[in-house]
Structure 1
Amino acid sequence: DSINLKPKITLLNGITVIVGSIIGSGIFVSPKGVLEQTGSVGLALIVWTGCGLFSMVGAYCFNELGVMIVKSGGDYAYINEAFGPFLAFLRLWVECIIVRPCTTAVVALTFAAYIIEPLFPDCEQPEDAARLLAGICL
């Protein structure tokens, strides 16, 4: 007998996880930068549309991998199948030690910046205050 994971994710759960992963906290920070760099609303919308299409192609690639490689483990299972256990382990290690903590830190810094912004309406926010609040949030 083998022990298998029972899939318990509904369509709505899956959609919310995917949308949350794709959008993340960047949606609250990047529009200002995109608009400043492009110089026009129309070009900014074109950039956002292009990035959305690029993300959609990536999602379709993961969809195809999920259909072809029916194993639990996500990225680890796909890389293990394609390149072997060593590179799969390295990818998992980098995800756990670098990517996830950095992502959590960026979300905390974004949250702190938005919380502190109303307290300093006419001047620049003190960076130390935002970092301190982000550290408390973590």
Structure 2
Amino acid sequence: MTTIGSEDSGSRDGPKHLTLRRELGLVSAVSLIAGTMIGSGIFMSPQLVLSNIGSPGASLAIWAACGVLAMLGSLCYAELGTTIRESGGEYVYIMRTSGQLAAFVCVFTSVLVVRPASMAGMSLSFAEYAVAPFYPDCPPPPLVVKCAAAVGIVALAVVNCLNVRFSLSLQTFFLVAKVLALVVIVIGGLVLLVGGHTGSFENAFEGTKLGISPIGVAFYQGLWSYDGWNNLNYVIEELKHPELSRLKVSGLSLH
């Protein structure tokens, strides 16, 4: 989401350099982070966490621990974003602290492995839900799912390249839709609990798998669902008042 403007470097006739327009406000910044975090992972990972860890009680403990880690990481990034006001996220921070070689390795693995794999997983998850209504009696064909995922990736890329404000409006719209979906799920669960369906909480930790492998995989699935808390720092130069956003986030985190 990059919008380019120009600024004079000294005189009217002197050389000009390109800068990023500050078009992201506090609401847009929150929508960017929350909209990225609340994605396909939160709808798919709970069953994987539960199947790997083996019990409802341990599953809830894993989710709580992942939430604490994500919160601590986001607070650290809030400080970094207001101290080093350059877009690029961890690439800029590693380059400032560890040098260009370490930063190059970071961005190289991120561009070729980490980001494509994460985007592929999210787009395939979205595609499975998107095409499921057209195949009510059977699983959708893999080719159809892959094509729908590719269309989704291309559509998002085009929207982000065309206009920043429109992409932010779209992000906010989908954020509201996803929050409403989660609210429906939460309310449904509370209704079942009030109705006496508490069998899962009896001997909640029975059957817990304490091996390194199941706990590690469960943590991986949970942290993948929380992923996205660092995305605002990639466009920190487009944020209007980074210090105000940091104060708001810190205040919300402490209360």
The alignment's TM-score, normalised by the length of structure 2, stands at 0.46
Query: What is the root-mean-square deviation of aligned Cα atoms in Å?
Result: 2.6
Alignment check: 8 A CA contact 1:35 1:41 kept: yes
Equivalent position of 1:7 in the other structure: 22
Amino acid at match of 1:74: G
Amino acid at match of 2:62: V
Task: Give distance in 2, aligned partners of 1:77 and 1:12.
Answer: 25
Q: Which has the higher helix share?
A: 1
Q: Look at both structures and tell me which one has the larger radius of gyration over its CA atoms.
A: 2
Equivalent position of 2:121 in the other structure: 106
Equivalent position of 2:196 in the other structure: none
Q: How does 1:2-81 map to 2 (within 5 A)?
A: 3=17, 4-81=19-96
Following superposition, the deviation at residue 73 of structure 1 comes to: 2.5
Amino acid at match of 1:15: V
Equivalent of residue 89 in structure 1, options 104, 116, 137 = 104
Task: Tell me which of the two structures has the higher relative contact order, counting C-alpha pairs closer than 8 angstroms and 6 or more residues apart.
Answer: 2
> For structure 1, which segment, 96-105 or 54-63, has the greater mean C-alpha deviation from structure 2 after superposition?
96-105
Aligned in 2, Cα 1:79/1:24: closer, same or farther, shift over 3 Å?
A: farther
Amino acid at match of 1:88: A
Task: Give distance in 2, aligned partners of 1:21 and 1:71.
Answer: 20
Following superposition, the deviation at residue 124 of structure 1 comes to: 5.2
Amino acid at match of 2:32: V
Task: Give distance in 2, aligned partners of 1:48 and 1:16.
Answer: 22
Following superposition, the deviation at residue 84 of structure 1 comes to: 0.8
Aligned in 2, Cα 1:53/1:120: closer, same or farther, shift over 3 Å?
A: same
> For structure 1, which segment, 37-46 or 49-58, has the greater mean C-alpha deviation from structure 2 after superposition?
37-46
Following superposition, the deviation at residue 111 of structure 1 comes to: 1.6
Task: Give distance in 2, aligned partners of 1:84 and 1:133.
Answer: 41
Amino acid at match of 1:35: L
Where structure 1 has 5 or more consecutive residues not aligned to the other structure, the ranges are: none
Aligned in 2, Cα 1:135/1:66: closer, same or farther, shift over 3 Å?
A: closer
Aligned in 2, Cα 1:71/1:112: closer, same or farther, shift over 3 Å?
A: closer
Task: Give distance in 1, aligned partners of 2:76 and 2:89.
Answer: 12
Alignment check: 8 A CA contact 1:38 1:44 kept: yes
Q: How many residues in Structure 1 have an aligned counterpart in Structure 2?
A: 137
Following superposition, the deviation at residue 57 of structure 1 comes to: 0.7
Alignment check: 8 A CA contact 1:22 1:55 kept: no
